[in-house]
Amino acid sequence: MSQKIQTALISVYHKEGLEAILQELNNLRVKFISTGGTREFIESLGYECEGVEEVSGYPSILGGRVKTLHPKIFGGILYRRENESDKKQVKAYDIPSIDLVIVDLYPFEQTVANGGSEEEIIEKIDIGGISLIRGAAKNHKNVLIVASRSQYKPLYELLKEKQGETSEADRRWFAKEAFKVSSGYDAAIFRYFDREANSALRIAADEGKQLRYGENPHQKGLFYGDFDQIFEQLHGKEISYNNLLDIDAAISLIADFDETALAILKHNNACGMASRPTVREAWEAALAADPVSAFGGVVVTNRPVDQAAAEAINAIFFEVLIAPAYDKEALDILFQKKNRIILRHKSAEKALQPMQYRSILNGMLVQERNVSLQSAGDLQVVTQQVPTDPETEDLLFANKLVKHTKSNAIVLVKDKQLIASGTGQTSRVDALNQAIEKAMHFQLDLHGAVMASDAFFPFADCVEIAHKAGITAVIQPGGSIRDEESVQACNRNGVAMVTTGVRHFKH
């Protein structure tokens, strides 16, 4: 059913972009009803505007908390034009017919993000605006609702094209957009009040970024989030679904390291990582662990990339490079390949959410992000052999790495360099054998290396195999009923073992 816009109620926080809408509505001889600051803005443009207080007969009260909340306003929005009883009541109570409602809500999320006080945040919970949105959207058969300034453009185009006439399909689309706004607004408020308890799940996200495809070309992919808040893309092609997964894994990993470090990731696992005095040295050590897997990988470092590092990194093909900064000379080198993605990591604090979500069956799994880190003071030596200081440093380095490696996971480290890892295996022995075979393949010496396991050893077989390969120290959570068997195997072979009491499964 087509409907002509004759009266518009306008109540907005931000006035930007409204002038063109008002001009078009005025050209169509639409009557304006408005509140406070919005009314002043409309009148400043030379348009007549009736105040909400004049319609309702009540002034704005309680410091502006109550303005539009009145039967004459909501009656004008909610009454059903085809309902005879509604028509009689509207006439009896002198309720105006309102055909268009334009609202822009108080900036609640922005106030929270800007560190507003509790009082400021509470005052930015919009009551009248959200009620207008819900009422107008509910009665979309008769009323057009514009719930955000982001919808001004389609409103303007509609007004120009149809000269104030709207179809039910038009109004239904705007109603859908309105409920998107209100649901997101309510979810943000709930998350603020529930930020400590985390008692329930409320997720609302708008305008997902369309990706080229999902994990595979036959799958659709979308990203919901603000990528630009965390990264500045300096160069390269459009970021893909798989790129995003690797970028998340890379940022999660590098966040655990304070010293100069560089990692190379492939399919969310580190295939190379090292800590060295310079980024170039860290790159060369990381690459040595697996130069084959590094091809097409994601590179991340926690230090600025200079010319020397860029020259070395530029020698192989990689998909993504992430760093907090780049020298101009480094960018001149890295920009030589047009498709490679160069990212400047600009916000470590906002990069990682405190909670992790995963869809499963007909619901979702939610857990806290694994932020547990172990220091030397957390290690319990359970063997006769005590690890040396350099071994302890390597054990802690390996323990951080294994935390970010798919289970079952084994990580072998020497001199703060990832020598090899076993990832995603169905047994811990398989993971260890995979790591040893990989180290041998690339002719990396395991004598004096250390081993980290993401979970306890159910039997002594892993430490026996590790000793034969030349490993001299082991870090693991402990907690197996057969822990003593592994401890005794270490004692027989002069291997040091420490336990942390913290498991790092990653599925």
| Fold equal for 3-193 and 377-499 | no
The answer to whether residue 184 scores a pLDDT higher than 80 is yes
CB of 202 closer than 8 Å to CB of 190? yes
pLDDT tens across 384-429, in order?
999 999 999 999 999 999 999 999 999 999 999 999 999 999 999 9
Q: What CATH superfamily is the domain 229-345?
A: AICAR transformylase, duplication domain (3.40.140.20)
Q: Within 453-503, where are the H helices?
A: 461-469, 483-493
Tell the burial category of 84 from Cβ atoms under 10 Å away from its Cβ (0-12, 13-18, 19+). exposed
Can you name the CATH fold of 3-193? Rossmann fold (3.40.50)
Q: pTM score, two decimals? A: 0.81
Q: Report whether the peptide linkage leading into residue 408 is cis, meaning its omega lies within 30 degrees of zero.
A: yes
Query: Please, is 47 exposed, middle or buried when counting C-beta atoms within 10 Å of its C-beta (0-12, 13-18, 19+)?
Result: middle
Q: 297: part of which helix (H) or strand (E)?
A: strand 297-301
Residue 479 gets the label, from left (phi > 0), alpha (psi -120 to 50) or beta, of left
Buried b (16+ CB within 10 A) or exposed e, 247-269: bebbbbbbbbbeebbbbbbbebb
Distance CA 9, CA 15 (A): 14
For residue 151, the 8-state DSSP code is G
Model pLDDT, residue 121 = 92
Residues 109-149 have pLDDT tens digits of 889 888 889 999 999 998 888 999 999 999 999 999 999 99
What residues form DSSP beta bridges with 135? none
Range name among 97-101, 244-248, 453-457, 492-496 with the lowest pLDDT average: 97-101
* Catalytic residue numbers, as ranges: 138, 267
Q: Which residue has the higher pLDDT, 116 or 206?
A: 116
Please identify, in words, the CATH class of the domain defined by 377-499: alpha beta
Query: What angle, rounded to 10 degrees, do the helices at 84-92 and 71-78 form?
Result: 150
Instruction: Report whether 165 contacts 3 (CB < 8 A).
Output: yes
- In the predicted model, is pLDDT for residue 177 greater than 80? yes
Q: Is 39 exposed, middle or buried (0-12, 13-18, 19+ CB in 10 A)?
A: buried
Check: CB of residue 272 under 8 Å from CB of residue 290.
yes
CA–CA dist 171, 162 (Å, integer): 13
At 459-473, the pLDDT tens digits run: 999 999 999 999 999
Q: Are residues 305 and 340 in contact, defined by beta-carbon separation less than 8 angstroms? A: no
Q: How many CB atoms lie within 10 A of CB 78?
A: 19
Q: Where are the domains of the chain?
A: 3-193, 229-345, 377-499
Mean pLDDT of 299-311: 97
Which pLDDT belongs to residue 51?
83
Q: How are strands ordered across the β-sheet holding 269-275? A: 231-235, 341-345, 318-323, 297-301, 261-266, 269-275
CA distance 165 to 163: 6
Q: What is the pLDDT of residues 51-61, one digit of tens each?
A: 888 777 778 77
Alpha-carbon distance of 103 to 10, in angstroms, equals 6
* Residue from 229, 271, 262, 266 nearest 245 by CA: 266
